[in-house]
Structures are given as C-alpha cells and as structure tokens.
Amino acid sequence: MSDELKRGLEGVLVAESELSHVDGEVGKLVYRGYDIEDLARGASYEEVLYLLWHGSLPTREELDAFAANLAAERAVDDDVLETVRTLADAGERPMAALRTATSMLSAYDPDADTDDDDVTETARRQGRRITAKVPTVLAAFERARQGEAPLAPNPDLSYAGNFLYMLTGTEPDAVSEETFDMALTLHADHGLNASTFTAMVIGSTLADVYSGVTGGIGALSGSLHGGANQDVMEVLYEIDDSAKDPVAWVKDARENGRRIPGFGHRVYKVKDPRAKILQEKLRDLSESSGDTKWLDYTTAIEEYLTDEGLLDKGIAPNVDFYSGSVYDSLGIPVDMYTPIFAMSRAGGWIAHMVEYQADNRLIRPRARYTGPESAEIVPIDER
C-alpha cells in the first residue's frame, strides 16, 4: 500500500461513476453522456433528475408519472414548518436552517424504519421526498423572515416554477421559470466535489438518505465550497454603491490585493460551460425587465480580466460569476443562493449515494501519524 500523502485527496480515484464527468481542460460537463448545454436547453429539471436517478431520459408517460409523484410529496408537516419559523425568528442562517429541517423531515418519512430488502428503491422514495420538500422548507423560511405565512405548494406548477411561486407569492413569467429551471439543471451534479463526496462517504456506511443529504448540506455550507455566487453578488452591490465604473473598481481592488470572486475553478481551466449558459439567461432576464445593470457590470468585468490575461493563466469565469446576478434578477435574497445550490445538488447527492451503495464498500482512508512516540502518563498530581 502506497504511503504517498495526497492532501485533500487531490487526484485520488476513489470510485467509478456513470453520473457525471467534468473535463476542465476543454470546459465540458456531461450527465450520463449528455452535454450539459443540451440538457439545460432541451430538458426540464424533472427530466434531469429522472436521468440521474434512473439512467435514461424519461418518455412522456414516465415523466408525467415522475413529476406527479414528485409534486405529490411537496407538502411539509406542520411541526417542521413551526421549527422553520422558530429558526427564522431566531435569526438562524438559511443553510443551517435547511440542515436542521432536512434532518427533521426523516421523522415524518413512512420509510424511515422500513426493513425493505430493496435498499435502492427505498433510497429513491426517500430521495424523492427530500427533493420535493426542500423547496417548500426554503420558501417557508424566507417568508417567515419577512413576517409572512408560508404558501402551500401548487401541484400544477413545475418544480422550478413552484419554488419561485412559494418564495414570492407570484407565479413566475415564462422567462423567469425557464431560467431558474436551467440553473437547477446546471447545478444538479458535478463529479465528486466536497459535498457529493461527503454524502457518498455517509452512504457508504449504509446510513439513510436523510443522513447523506444533511451531511452534504453541511459540507456545502463551508466558504470554500458553496457561497461563491453570494460573494460575487456582494462585490456587484459594492461596485454599484460606489458609483464607480466596474472596470475601474476592479482595477483598484486588484491593486489592493483583493481577489475577484467568480473567477477560477479547481477543475476548469477555461470558461465554465455553465457560466456561458447563465450569461445568456441573464441577458434574457435583463431584456425582459429592461434593467441591464448586472449584465453590463459582469460583461465589462469579464472582458477586462480576459484582456488582462487571466484566461491565459487558466483563471476563467465559473458558474458563480453569473448565477448570482441571475438569482438577484429573479428576486432571490443573496443569502439564499447557497441553499438553492443545495436544493438543486440534492438530486446529485442522492444519485451518487444510490449508485455507490449498489456496489458498496465502506470508505475508510488512512492518516499518517505524526504525533509523539512512547509518551508516559505522569500522575495527575505531578503534572
């Protein structure tokens, strides 16, 4: 067995997966062989969930049944909603509230104590309930913070459309619904990132799906994983408040040693393919609303940093550089961006848990011991 230390497990292969593949050198992302651009433009988020969970895109009949089953699970028990209200009143952070509520949801799952021999099917049923209820929890939390009662889910709306409705109280227009649906698809899976690996490690112990998703939320809440789109948006707000030209602001920021969020990625060496799509959707939203401010700012910043040679160094715009502006244009509060990331990525976490458990081996790496040798216990009164 090799004793070579790989900090952060960088470059270490720990599993085989048919779910998604990232080619950072050319800027390509695929789910089960389908290019992300084709899926974002040609399939709904419900279709993508079906693809990740079942291995193929659904027929019309399969999609109708799948979407109906998903919509039927959207309601959340009153006890959970009361806890969400309590957390909102206490000023809890949205990601922490989501983590708590997701764990609590397991208490009301009819499969929580099942002895079903078909572990995969049980995991899928639980995963469907989690995926259906997370938008309801998040929307209820935000409305509670605004002093408003939660809205009941609308089963006639799509997954994306229903969330925007529950969040804002208004059914979204076609451009907004399509844009948000595409954003969910773009974030659904992305190889063995930190939160997905966390969920997979938990799943390898044969813990239930609720444990895995709760763990994934915890991992995503860290500043080195989720939250970059929030950082981008806060920079854009700062630029706007300064009334300075965005390029001049960025020049000053770089001279002062500030890093511009939304540029660079652990995997991608060229522009993130998801960023390209969201840039287009930001343009659609801007044209629909008549407000092009964020589009103008982000485009100017990207063009300037490109001219400065960042792309030549492998530092390119990632998905977060445009997703924040898209969410702001949809009326979503900035501290809800990472929870929405979790809402989308839960589908991928569940898919990886199900896939790994089908040929399970407990994930149990080693650490090199660097502590003292041959320590002797000194009696407590002599220490």
Catalytic residues: 225, 265, 320
How would DSSP label each residue in 330-371?
TT--GGGHHHHHHHHHHHHHHHHHHHHHTT-----------S
Question: Rounded to an integer, what distance in angstroms lies between the CA atom of residue 314 and that of residue 298?
Answer: 19
Question: Rounded to an integer, what distance in angstroms lies between the CA atom of residue 101 and that of residue 107?
Answer: 10
Q: What is the largest CA-CA distance in the chain?
A: 77
Kindly report the number of other CB atoms within 10 A of residue 313's CB atom: 10
Query: Number of C-alpha atoms within 13 angstroms, CB side, residue 329?
Result: 29
**φ and ψ of 28, to 5 deg:** -130, 135
User: Which residue in the block uniquely carries the two structure tokens 């809402």?
Assistant: 343
For Cα atoms 207, 212, 214, give the angle at the middle one, nearest 5 degrees.
125
Assigned token pair, 205: 């112990």
Kindly report the number of other CB atoms within 10 A of residue 137's CB atom: 27
Which DSSP symbol is given to 199? H
Helix (H, G, I), strand (E, B) or coil at 263: strand
Cβ partners under 8 Å of residue 310, min gap 6? 263, 316
Could you tell me if 327 and 232 are in contact, meaning their C-beta atoms sit under 8 angstroms apart? no
Helix (H, G, I), strand (E, B) or coil at 21: strand
CA 373 to chain centre: 44
Helix (H, G, I), strand (E, B) or coil at 31: strand
Assigned token pair, 350: 């569940």
- Calculate the alpha carbon distances from 7 to 11, 195, 368 in Å: 10, 17, 11
Which DSSP symbol is given to 266? S
